[in-house]
Amino acid sequence: MPGKLSIIDLILHASFVVQCVMAILLIASVVSWAMIIQRNKALSEAIDDTRKFEDRFWSGIDLSKLYNEVSARANVSGMESLFKAGFKEFARLHKTSARSPNAVMEGTQRAMRVGLSREVERLETHLAFLATVGSISPYIGLFGTVWGIMNSFIALGAVQQATLAMVAPGIAEALIATAIGLFAAIPAVIAYNRFSHRVEMLENSYANFVEEFSNILHRQAVSSGDAN
């Protein structure tokens, strides 16, 4: 079709500032998609590992045996790391007969709280970047749009007789910047909300496990104290 505007041509013939805006948004979109894929895989694995460990933990296995199994693995994360940190600290403090059960449990819970904080921080990796892309990309695109339209009207003021054909390309290339900004922002916002929900679910599961495991260890500490 004669005179049909091509998006590629509009991008290539856009002003330098608008091209820079488009390049920034495209880079942000590519990076955010890479992080979305990585975070989705990491959180899915964390959820699966949590379910598997819970099944193993509540199967009635001896805690010392489970601790040896977990410690034998090189990379331990998630609920397993909380169990390892808590049981290790409990065993270390429990060997000191002078310590009361409350003192033992205080140190054990402190170790697990530190581990919980680290695990949540690990799960939230890259979420801040996705939130930033989702919040500022439309504004960056809008900046490119405003700049492109401003240049179109400046060029329009330099001619005596203006036509739609003179204005349309400049406005079209400016609107492309907004479209790219939305293209970068929408997936980032959706992914951020979804991942934040999954992180919250995992954090609640970890916190519940810390409480339940603390109760189990507290009963052991009290029974050992009575036996002594």
pLDDT, one tens digit per residue, over 174-196 is 788 899 999 999 999 999 999 99
* Averaged confidence pLDDT in the chain: 86
Looking at residue 165, what is its pLDDT?
A: 64
Residue 111 buriedness (CB in 10 A; 0-12 / 13-18 / 19+): buried
Instruction: Give a yes or no: residue 133 inside a domain.
Output: yes
How many Cα atoms occupy the beta-carbon half-sphere of 42 within 13 Å?
A: 18
Looking at residue 140, what is its pLDDT?
A: 93
pLDDT of residue 2 exceeding 50: no
Instruction: Give a yes or no: residue 50 inside a domain.
Output: no
Return the number of other C-beta atoms located less than 10 Å from residue 15's C-beta.
17
- Rounded to whole angstroms, how far apart are CA atoms 19 and 12? 8
Q: Please list, in sequence order, all residues whose beta carbon lies within 8 angstroms of the beta carbon of residue 35, skipping any fewer than 6 positions away.
A: 126, 129, 130
Single out the residue of 86, 46, 60 nearest to residue 201, CA to CA: 46
Domain count across the chain: 1
Handedness of CA 11, 16, 18, 20 (dihedral sign): positive
- Expressed as residue numbers, the domain containing 200 is 77-96+105-228
Rg (CA), the chain: 29
Band the pLDDT of 1: cuts 50, 70, 90: very low
Instruction: Give a yes or no: residue 129 inside a domain.
Output: yes
pLDDT, one tens digit per residue, over 200-209 is 999 999 999 9
What's the residue count for the chain? Answer: 228
pLDDT, one tens digit per residue, over 136-186 is 999 999 998 888 888 777 767 666 665 666 667 777 777 888 999 999 999
Q: Please list, in sequence order, all residues whose beta carbon lies within 8 angstroms of the beta carbon of residue 98, skipping any fewer than 6 positions away.
A: none
Instruction: Give a yes or no: residue 167 inside a domain.
Output: yes
Instruction: Give a yes or no: residue 70 inside a domain.
Output: no
Looking at residue 159, what is its pLDDT?
A: 65
Single out the residue of 125, 132, 127, 126 nearest to residue 25, CA to CA: 132
DSSP sequence for 92-106: HHHT-TTS-HHHHHH
pLDDT, one tens digit per residue, over 34-92 is 999 999 999 999 999 999 999 999 998 889 999 999 988 888 889 999 999 999 999 88
How many Cα atoms occupy the beta-carbon half-sphere of 134 within 13 Å?
A: 17
Instruction: Give a yes or no: residue 226 inside a domain.
Output: yes
